[in-house]
Amino acid sequence: MTVPATMRALQQTSWNGPQDLRLITDAQVPSPGPGEILIRVTAAGVNFADIDQAHGRFAGGPQPPYLAGFEGAGVVVAVGEGVAGLEPGAHVIGVGGGAFAEYMVLYAGGALPVPAGWADEQALGMVVNWPTALAALKPQGHLTAGQTVLIHAAAGGTGQAAVKMAKHYGARVIATASPGKHEVVRALGADHVLDSRSADLAADVLRLTDGAGADLVLESGGGVTFAASLAAAKQVTGRVVVYGVAGGEAAITNWELVYKHQIHIIGLNLGTLIQAAPHIFGEVTEELSALISAGVLTPGQPTMYELGDGPKALATLAARATIGKLALVP
């Protein structure tokens, strides 16, 4: 396979947000180092973290100028030294720098095969959104059948997977989403769908749970939603897994934990989970393949944008105007 020296890519030129993403045509095609593979990207996944990175809010994120995007699916075109079991021509999905480009390098050990019969873009979500949702529900959230889970951003890439899995595990799902997205969330099996922009979220959850609150909250809303999540969690045994800050930073004090919200607050970051608790991540990955084989998680249907429309795709995501996963096609 001939690999060109330069390629088209989206370069983030400042920390002023996705508006400063520029399409360049002379980015250098990277070379795979030891243990790495080079893929021709056929579809790159758009994530809320791309927005955080573009604003410089992503801890440990790259300094501008950098090639944006980190989730890519495509076909292997070259393998680095010491890579075994992955040949050119294989279709994989993984995480690495510079996914919004025609070519990107992935760490071979972290790349997953695109499931048989799936198009590359249908696998987007498998390495970011789905493991995050599953880790929040199970190893971190300890959800069991019959419990009630409150899932924010339920129409989104991560939230849709969370709703499907929570229902599969026998939970009662109270979901939140902006008006206009509720039918999609109901169709996934959510038992109740609330307006994520309502000021009465906590009261509504308490009403739906006879005053008890939710056993588990998947908290990615941040901002004012964070306070609603704390108030909606069941006293003493309720867990709030915090994995997103979409609406901005929010705080809880030690006084509140002692006198107001006697609950469990659990932080989740997928990158840290992979690095610091590989055995837990391994269990998550195994469970995800079982859920795929069982048809609980089905091929994704991302909304596709041309690479050059990346800034528009990210702006739409930031404006809460999207449903499900978005993909860029280089």
| Rounded CA separation 225/48 (Å) | 17
Cβ atoms within 10 Å of 248's Cβ, excluding its own: 12
User: Quick check: 128 binds ligand NAP (CB under 6 A)?
Assistant: yes
Please report how close the Cβ of residue 175 comes to ligand NAP at its closest, in angstroms: 9
User: Quick check: 316 binds ligand NAP (CB under 6 A)?
Assistant: no
Q: Which stretch binds ligand NAP (CB under 6 A): 3-11, 219-227, 276-284, 308-316?
A: 219-227
- Cβ contact 17:80 at 8 Å: no
CB nearest ligand NAP: which residue?
156
Please report how close the Cβ of residue 139 comes to ligand NAP at its closest, in angstroms: 13
User: Quick check: 268 binds ligand NAP (CB under 6 A)?
Assistant: yes
Please report how close the Cβ of residue 32 comes to ligand NAP at its closest, in angstroms: 25
| Rounded CA separation 300/101 (Å) | 21
One-letter amino acid for residue 330 of the chain: P
Binders of ligand NAP among residues 37 to 56 (CB under 6 A) are 47-49
Residue closer to ligand NAP, measured from CB, 266 or 270: 270
User: Quick check: 297 binds ligand NAP (CB under 6 A)?
Assistant: no
| Rounded CA separation 162/166 (Å) | 6
List of E strands, the chain: 6-12, 21-28, 36-46, 66-67, 71-79, 91-95, 103-107, 112-113, 148-151, 172-177, 192-195, 216-219, 239-242, 264-267, 303-306, 326-329
How many amino acids of this chain bind ligand NAP (CB under 6 A)?
31
Please report how close the Cβ of residue 128 comes to ligand NAP at its closest, in angstroms: 5
Please report how close the Cβ of residue 17 comes to ligand NAP at its closest, in angstroms: 12
